[in-house]
Amino acid sequence: MADESPLTPPDPTDPYQREAQTFPTLTDDMVERIGAFGMHEALPAGSMLYSRGDRGVDFFVVLDGEVEVFDETESGEHRVVHVHGANEFTGELDLFNNRRILVSARALHDARVIRVKRADFRRLVAVEADIGEIFMRAFILRRVGLIRHAQGAVTLVGPGHGGDTLRIQRFLTRNGYPHLLLDTERDPDAKGFLNCFELSLDQLPVVVLGDDTVLRNPTNAQVADALGLTEDLDPNVIYDLAVIGAGPGGLAAAVYGASEGLATIVFESLAPGGQAGTSSKIENYLGFPTGISGQALAGRAQVQAQKFGARLAISRAIVGVDCAVRPFRLELDDGRTVRARAIVIASGARYRTLDVENFARFEGQGIHYAATAMEANLCVRQEVAVVGGGNSAGQAAMFLSRAVQHVYMLVRGPSLAATMSDYLVQRIHASPRITLLTHTEIVGLEGERTLEHVTWTQRVNGEQTRKPIANVFAMLGAQPNTDWLKSCIELDDKGFIVTADAHPNESRWSPSPYAASVEGIFAIGDVRAGSVKRVASAVGEGSVVIQAIHQYLSAH
C-alpha cells in the first residue's frame, strides 16, 4: 500500500483508504457461485499470475494463501499495491478491455485460487449482478488509487508549460492512465534524469515507460500504442454497429447497442468523453445534483459500454467511409479498414479559434480550450482571460475564479443574457473575482516562448488595454468534425450532418429522425444539424438511435 506513515492523517477521499470497498472480502456463498464460472488452481509460492504489460489477463479469487499485487518503479523499487487474502479478488478496469495491464501479481505463499477466463468473467458479471456490482465499484476505486498514487505509472519528462508536455499529459489524464510529471522547469532531479538517459532539452518532452523505453516527443497515437491503450483489432470481424466518436453521444450508443446484443465497436481519435470530457463540472445532467466532472462521467460510461462487450479503439481516427459497399468499409488513420453493417456518427464538434496573430503559436502554451483542475493549477494566483459568452465560457469563468487571482471575461456582444443560462449570468455578475467586459475582443497576444501579455480593445470607444496575462481560455463554441466524411453524406452549409429530422415530409428519408442521407448511417449529438448541443441530448439521441438500427439491420 502506498505511503501510509502513522503521521499521515487518513484522507477520506483516498480510494485505498476505503479498504472495505476497494479490496472487499466476498462471502463464502459468493465465492462458491464464482466457482461455477472458473476452475480451481494450486499456485506454488512465487509463481506469477500475470505481469505488467500482459494483455487479456484472467480474473482470480483467492481461496487460501496470499496473492501480492505489485509495481516496479524505474529505479527498480518494488512497491506493493495490495496483498489479497482469502475470499479477495484481483483485477481492475483493464479486465473489461484488452489493454495492457498496469501491475503484476504473484503468489506470496502457496496459494489456491479460482481462475476465471475473460469470456467467462463477462458472463459472471452479467449473471451474478450483486457480485458484479462489488467488482465494478472495487475496480473503479482501484484505478483511481493507481492514478492518485502514480502506481503502474509512466514518467513524462518535459517543461510543465510546454505545449507538447501539456498535450501528452492531457492525453494520459483523459485516458485515465497513471503518470508522473518530471517538470524540467521546476524539478531539481530533472537534470540528473536527463543526463542518465542522455537526453538534450530539444528532445523533450519524453515519455519513459516501465521497461526504460524512451519515446521522444511522441504523437498521441505513438503513446497509445506503446502503452497498449489501443486494443488489437481483428480484421476479419464484421461488426453490427460502428460508432464514430466516444463523446457522451457515442458512449450512449455503445452502451445501448452492446447491451441489446449488437456487436459494437467505437472509434475515438483522442479520449473518451469528447467535449464533455474537458468540462470541470457538469451541473445540469440528470441525477447528479452536486455536478459531475465530464471525465468522471465519461470514465463510468466507458466501463459500462465495455461491461456489455463493446470494443473501444482509442486513439484511432476514422478518416473515410465507403458508403457504396455493404457492409460499410471504414478507413482508419493507420491505413487499416473495418467493416460494419450500420454506422452511428457521433464525432461531435471542435473548438473555434480567435482570428488574432500568434494564436496558433500559443495554443497549449497559454491558450486553452478547457478549464479543468489541470489548467487551473497552471494559473494559481494569476489573472486570466476567458473569451466567449456561452455556457461553457460561464462555467469556465466560475470554476477558474475559485483558483486564480482574477478572471476577465471578454465578450463581443452587449451582454451575456442572450447566450448564457440565467443561473450562470447571475453568478458571474455576483462574483467579485470576475470582471465582465462587453463589446471587447482580443487584438494582441505576445510572449517569448509562452504567452505573457494580452491586449484587448473595447469596440465602442476604441480603448486598448494590455495586461500581463499568461493564460487565455477560448470558449467560443464549436464547428463539426465532418471533414473526414468528404462527399459521402449530406451536410448543411456549416458542415453539420443533415438527418431525417430536417425533412419530416419527405418519404425517401428513413422514419428515424437520426437517419443520414445514406441508408444505414445515422448521426447523433453535436455533429447533427439542428441538435441541442448538450450532454443529456447527445446521450438521449445515442440511446434512442439503437432502436432504428435494430429495424434497419432486421430489414437488411
Ligand X SMILES: Cc1cc2nc3c(=O)[nH]c(=O)nc-3n(C[C@H](O)[C@H](O)[C@H](O)COP(=O)(O)OP(=O)(O)OC[C@H]3O[C@@H](n4cnc5c(N)ncnc54)[C@H](O)[C@@H]3O)c2cc1C
Buried b (16+ CB within 10 A) or exposed e, 182-206: bbbeeeeebeebbeeeebeeeebbb
Rounded distance, CA 541 to CA 128, Å?
30
Determine if 318 is a binding residue for ligand X (CB under 6 A).
Answer: yes
**Which residue among 49, 317, 367, 411 contacts ligand X (CB under 6 A)?**
317
**Which residue among 71, 92, 94, 268 contacts ligand X (CB under 6 A)?**
268
Supply angle C-alpha 446, 451, 452, rounded to 5. Answer: 70
Total of chain residues touching ligand X, rule CB under 6 A:
37
Q: Which residues, at least 6 apart from 296, have a Cβ–Cβ distance to it below 8 Å?
A: none
**Which residue among 484, 492, 543, 553 contacts ligand X (CB under 6 A)?**
484
**Which residue among 269, 315, 401, 499 contacts ligand X (CB under 6 A)?**
269
In whole angstroms, how close is the CB of 401 to ligand X at the nearest point?
A: 15
Specify whether the CB–CB gap between 376 and 397 falls below 8 A.
no
Comparing every residue's Cβ against ligand X, the nearest one is 348
| Cβ count within 10 A of residue 511 | 9
Instruction: Decide whether 116 or 425 has the Cβ nearer to ligand X.
Output: 425
Rounded distance, CA 457 to CA 438, Å?
10
In whole angstroms, how close is the CB of 466 to ligand X at the nearest point?
A: 27
Q: Which residues, at least 6 apart from 197, have a Cβ–Cβ distance to it below 8 Å?
A: 206, 208, 214
Build a one-symbol-per-residue string for 170-209: x at contacts with ligand X by CB under 6 A, - elsewhere: ----------------------------------------
In whole angstroms, how close is the CB of 233 to ligand X at the nearest point?
A: 14
Instruction: Decide whether 276 or 420 has the Cβ nearer to ligand X.
Output: 276
Classify the C-alpha dihedral 258-326-229-221 as positive or negative.
Answer: negative
Rounded distance, CA 286 to CA 301, Å?
14
What one-letter code names the amino acid at 415?
Answer: S
**Which residue among 305, 342, 370, 454 contacts ligand X (CB under 6 A)?**
370
State the DSSP code for 9. Answer: P
In whole angstroms, how close is the CB of 375 to ligand X at the nearest point?
A: 11
In whole angstroms, how close is the CB of 228 to ligand X at the nearest point?
A: 19
In whole angstroms, how close is the CB of 397 to ligand X at the nearest point?
A: 11
Q: Residue written as cell 494582441?
A: 444
State the DSSP code for 202. Answer: G
Determine if 349 is a binding residue for ligand X (CB under 6 A).
Answer: yes
Largest CA distance in the chain: 82
Instruction: Decide whether 26 or 346 has the Cβ nearer to ligand X.
Output: 346
Instruction: Decide whether 86 or 319 has the Cβ nearer to ligand X.
Output: 319
Which three cell numbers mark 61? 479469487
What one-letter code names the amino acid at 437?
Answer: L
**Which residue among 79, 115, 533, 550 contacts ligand X (CB under 6 A)?**
533
378 sits in which H/E element:
helix 373-378
Determine if 427 is a binding residue for ligand X (CB under 6 A).
Answer: no
**Which residue among 295, 365, 392, 440 contacts ligand X (CB under 6 A)?**
392
Residue span binding ligand X (CB under 6 A) among the ranges 99-107, 171-179, 248-256, 302-310: 248-256
In whole angstroms, how close is the CB of 312 to ligand X at the nearest point?
A: 11
Residues numbered 273-292 forming contacts with ligand X, rule: CB under 6 A: 274-276, 278-279, 282, 284
Q: Which residues, at least 6 apart from 153, have a Cβ–Cβ distance to it below 8 Å?
A: 146, 177, 178, 179, 180
**Which residue among 536, 543, 544, 553 contacts ligand X (CB under 6 A)?**
536
State the DSSP code for 231. Answer: P
Classify the C-alpha dihedral 285-288-290-295 as positive or negative.
Answer: negative
Specify whether the CB–CB gap between 29 and 87 falls below 8 A.
no
Rounded distance, CA 82 to CA 178, Å?
17
Specify whether the CB–CB gap between 116 and 59 falls below 8 A.
yes
Classify the C-alpha dihedral 265-267-268-274 as positive or negative.
Answer: negative
Instruction: Decide whether 19 or 232 has the Cβ nearer to ligand X.
Output: 232
Determine if 347 is a binding residue for ligand X (CB under 6 A).
Answer: yes
**Which residue among 138, 342, 538, 546 contacts ligand X (CB under 6 A)?**
538
Determine if 375 is a binding residue for ligand X (CB under 6 A).
Answer: no
Determine if 534 is a binding residue for ligand X (CB under 6 A).
Answer: yes
**Which residue among 244, 301, 407, 521 contacts ligand X (CB under 6 A)?**
244
Determine if 247 is a binding residue for ligand X (CB under 6 A).
Answer: yes
Contact residues for ligand X, defined by CB under 6 A: 244-250, 267-270, 274-276, 278-279, 282, 284, 317-318, 346-349, 370, 392, 395, 481, 484, 525-527, 533-536, 538
